[in-house]
A and B are shown apart, each in its own frame.
Chain A
Amino acid sequence: MDFSRTIIISCAGMGNRLGMETTKALLEIDGKPLIIHTLQQLGHEPDIRIVVGYQADKVIDVVKDFRSDVVFVFNHNYMNTGTGDSVLLAARHSNDYILSIDGDLLVHPDDMRSILECHNEFVGGNPIESDDPWFLQTYIDDEIEFVSAFSKCMGQYEWNGITQIKSKKMLKGTGHVFHLIEPHLPMEFKLIRTREIDTPNDYERAISWVKNHYNE
C-alpha cells in the first residue's frame, strides 16, 4: 500500500544572510538551481507542495518547467513569519504524514533515498558543523536513538530542518519548524547528511560538496 505523505519544501524566505538578492532555492549549484536538485531527488513522489513568498514568480517558473504537478502555497507574509508558519500553511488538507524540508538545504542523495523509504516519524540531524546551530539532545532506548529536546547550549547533533511527522500534529504554532515539533518529542532521530546554505561560505561548501560527489 502507498504511504500517505505530503512533502513540503519551504522556499518563502529572503535569504538575507546570504546577501545575494535571490531566494536560496534558486541558487545555482553545479549548473542547476538548488530546488531542482531537491525535486530530482524526490523522484516520483506524488504529493509535493512548495511554499513560496519572496521571488515567488521566479521559483514558480523554474519549478513549473521541471514538473507541472507541484502545488504552490503562498506565504504572503514571508517578511514577518518563519518557516514554521510556512509549513503550517502547506500542511492544511494534506496526507497522513508530512515530510518537511527547508528549501535552503542540500541533502545527500543516499540519505534522501533513505528518507523516502522511511514510513515513520523522525527528526533529522547531522554532525555539528555550523557556527550557531540548534542542537539535538538524544537518548538511546532499545537500540533506537530518540530526540528528546532542541537546545541552544548542547547536544550531540545539529538540527537540519528535516522532519517527518503525522500531519494532524501540525495544526498550530508559529516560529521555526522545530517549535512545531517540540511538543511532540521524543521522536526517533534520523542521521541525514546535509549542507544548509545560510552564508556565502555555506554556499561555497555546498558547491564543493556536490562537485566532490557528496564526499565529506
Chain B
Amino acid sequence: MNDFFFLFDLNTTIIKSDVLNVIAESAGICDQFNDLYEKLESNKLSFKDYLNAKYRLIGENYSDSVEHDFEKAEISSEIVEFIRAHKERCIILSDIPDIWLHRLLNLLMLSDVTICSHAVEDSYSRVQKLISIIDERIYASQMVQPFIAVGSDPYGIIMAPNATIRLCYTGINAASTKVLEKATHLIHNEHKLVEFMEKLI
C-alpha cells in the first residue's frame, strides 16, 4: 500500500470543459482573454494579476450567472467517484473563486476537499473583490506527503516539480507542449485514469 495523496486540478479535470473560456466566448471577450494569457506567458503579468484581470473582465462583460454555468458544466463522474471514495487522500485545487464554485461543489459533495481562490461578490454575484488566489504550484510546493498531481493546465498542479507522478489527463483535448515536457504519464481516457489511480492507492 502506498501513502500517496492525490492533488487534482478542478478545471478540465473534474469539470470536462474550460468553463471560463466558454463564458469568454459567449461574452465576446476571447481576444481580451488571449491578450491577458500572452502577457502571462511573456511574464508581463504575474499569475495573480492575470487572474485578477481575467475575473474582472468576466464581471464587466458577462451578465449571466457564472455560478450557474459551473453548476451546469459536464463532470468527470468517474474521477468524482474516485475522490469521494478516497476523500482522506484527495485534494482538489482551483484558482477559480469560491463564489462561482459553491453550488457545484455542494452538488458534487466535494466542498470539504476543495481549496480554491476566495472572493467577495457584489449583489449580481460578480467578483467585487478578489481576496486571495490559489496558485496550485505554490500549494504543491508546501506538500509534506508524497503526492500524485492530476491535471493538464500549464499553470496548474501538473507543473509541480515535487510531485512523485505528474499525471496528465486531457480527456478529449490535446495537451500543451509545456505540459508534456513535465508530465510523467499521459492518459486520455477517464476510466483508464481511474483504474491507474486505483493502483496507486
Q: A residues within 8 Å of B by Cβ?
A: 47, 56-57, 60, 64, 68-74, 76, 89, 93-94
Contact of B180 among A68, A74, A94 (CB under 8 A): A74
A73 CB contacts on chain B under 8 angstroms? 184-185
The reply to whether B180 and A71 contact each other, CB–CB distance below 8 Å, is: no
* Least distance between A113 CB and chain B CB atoms (Å): 24
The reply to whether B180 and A57 contact each other, CB–CB distance below 8 Å, is: yes
The reply to whether A60 and B191 contact each other, CB–CB distance below 8 Å, is: no
A68 CB contacts on chain B under 8 angstroms? 188-189, 192
Some 11 contacts from A to B, beta carbons below 8 A apart, are: A47-B195, A60-B180, A60-B186, A64-B188, A68-B192, A69-B188, A72-B186, A73-B184, A74-B184, A76-B181, A94-B199
**Per-position contact with A for B190-201: 1 when CB-CB < 8 Å, else 0?**
011001100110
Q: Main secondary structure on chain B at its contact with chain A?
A: mixed
A63 nearest in chain B by CB position = B188
Q: Which range contains the number of B residues in contact with the other chain?
A: 10 to 19
The reply to whether B191 and A69 contact each other, CB–CB distance below 8 Å, is: yes
B196 CB contacts on chain A under 8 angstroms? 71, 93
Which one of B177, B181, B187, B200 has the greatest number of beta carbons of chain A within 10 Å?
B187
- Distance, CA A74 to CA B187, complexed state (A): 11
Which residues in window 142-194 of B have CB below 8 A to A? 177, 180-181, 183-189, 191-192
B185 CB contacts on chain A under 8 angstroms? 71-74
A49 nearest in chain B by CB position = B185
**Given A57-B177, A60-B186, A76-B181, A71–B199 Cβ distance below 8 Å?**
no
Which one of B186, B192, B199 has the greatest number of beta carbons of chain A within 10 Å?
B186
B184 CB contacts on chain A under 8 angstroms? 73-74, 89
**Per-position contact with A for B128-147: 1 when CB-CB < 8 Å, else 0?**
00000000000000000000
